[in-house]
Structure 1
Amino acid sequence: MKYGEIETVRNLRLESYQEYRQFVSKEHWEVLKNTLISDNDLKNNAKIYTAELDGQIVGSVVLFPPSIQAYDWNKNVQEYPEIRMLAVKPGTRGKGIGGALVEHCVKVSKDENNSHIGLHTASFMKKALALYVSMGFERVPELDLEPMNDGIIVKAFIMDLNKNT
């Protein structure tokens, strides 16, 4: 992400995640929305990557480094990088933008000699779930989260970066 693009990225996140509003309570949506616009991604050496199409930002993702708190509402610290807030502009989906952003995070993590990379995604984010599985991420149910104690499970995934390298 270039300096000065954070507001564009945050607006893209909100637009991208808007379709999920119907799956959660008003309270849950407010927490999710606040996470998407939080400044947590500007702390702790997290890296924000963007994808452009025709000069416009159409996708973004945050890569949190290992050994930091990636979630405002969870004190857990992973020993590997964590992919967060993958967002693709609704009108540009299906062009491989999300996959390319995740692949970039995987490459960066490998280049930094990490053995694994992880992520969490909500159970109702079906396309994201399918993408992550197709890319080789494996479920780690013991790391699942239920941030609001409302039955909505945020599923944990991990990829062994030493496989097939």
Structure 2
Amino acid sequence: MLRDYQATDAEAIVRVALAAFAEFEPHFSDWPLFNANVAKMPGLAQTGEIIVAEDDGRIVGAVAYIGPKAKKPAFFDPAWPVIRMLVVDPAARGKGVGRQLTEECLRRAERDQAQVIALHTTPIMTVALPMYLRMGFVKTGEAPDILGVPYAVYVKTLA
């Protein structure tokens, strides 16, 4: 079940985010700094909409949808809505949670009458990146590295 984030969800989404990114520790040059930034995920509610996924009353995933007019990193076109911080609890993977959260962001972009939606990701995310590509996202350029890990911008044209 998907629903909008509530302030009381903050601790749970931070726990899920930290667990979701844990496997990437060897890739980042400053893991404590990366984790500190991941733990700021609830702050994305200030500029966007956080969507949470629940399974049996437990939060198993989350994503931030940053609308077309909201402030976003400079490597994105300011008019684009952006998907940020898609996280799924490792114990809940393989059930389509990431895809459902992404599809909800696509619905919100269409609601906002956006022509495209964007995200940035990295090849080390060997589950997320192929999912985005299957969903029609196309690489459009590079994004700044994050602590030694290369990232790129991907966009999907909306109907």
Aligned length: 154
Deviations 1:111-143 (A, max 9, x none): 1111111000122111111000000111112x4
TM-score (norm 2): 0.88
What is the one-letter code of the residue matched to 2:137? F
- 1:15 Cα deviation from its structure 2 partner: 0.8
Equivalent pair of 1:120/1:157 in contact (CA under 8 Å): yes
Query: Segments of 4+ in structure 1 off by > 6 A?
Result: none
Higher strand share: 2
Contact 1:16 1:87 in 2 (8 A): yes
Distance 1:48 1:83 in 2: 10
| Alpha-carbon contact 1:67-1:77 (below 8 Å) kept | no
What letter is aligned with 2:10? I
In structure 1, list runs of 5 or more residues that go unmatched: none
The structure showing larger relative contact order (alpha-carbon pairs under 8 Å, at least 6 residues apart) is 2
**8 Å Cα contact 1:69-1:77 kept in structure 2:** no
**Hey, what's the Cα distance between the residues in 2 that align with 1:16 and 1:114?**
29
TM-superposed CA distance for 1:146, in Å, is: 1.8
TM (norm. structure 1) is: 0.85
Matched, 1:159 2:156: yes
Distance 2:135 2:63 in 1: 16
Residues 69 and 76 of structure 1 are in contact (CA less than 8 Å); yes or no, is this contact kept in structure 2?
Answer: no
The answer to whether structure 1 residue 41 and structure 2 residue 44 are counterparts is: yes
For structure 2, the residue ranges without an aligned partner over 5 or more in a row are none
1:8 CA displacement: 0.8
Alignment of 1:59-98 (within 5 A): 59-71=61-73, 78-98=78-98
The sequence identity of aligned pairs, in percent, is: 27
Kindly provide the CA deviation profile for residues 59-97 of structure 1, in whole angstroms up to 9, marking residues without a partner as x: 1001112243335xx686632111011010101100000
